[in-house]
Amino acid sequence: MHWPAFITFASDATLVGLWAGGFLLLAVLALLADWRRSRRKNIDRVGCLPWTPIFLAAAFIGSGLLMVAVKGWLAP
């Protein structure tokens, strides 16, 4: 598999930023899924995934990685 030149020659900060974006996207999806589950019509259909802890973990990891990436981008 051939990676695009953008990813092949990207800095470490950019790669960490891409990972941060992925985790933050997962956090947004988990937030939407939790919102959808809280507004369900049939109260007995609970579901099997704990969306709130998934949101919290993904948001925490994503924001931490984003801070590291911004620090790497701003470094001289």
Domain boundaries of the chain, sorted by first residue = 10-74
The residues near 42 (Cβ < 8 Å, ≥ 6 apart) are none
- What pTM does this model have? 0.86
Q: In terms of DSSP H, where are the helices of the chain?
A: 5-8, 12-38, 51-74
What does the pLDDT profile of the chain (76 residues) look like in tens digits? 777 777 778 788 988 999 999 999 999 999 999 999 888 888 787 788 899 999 999 999 999 999 999 999 998 6
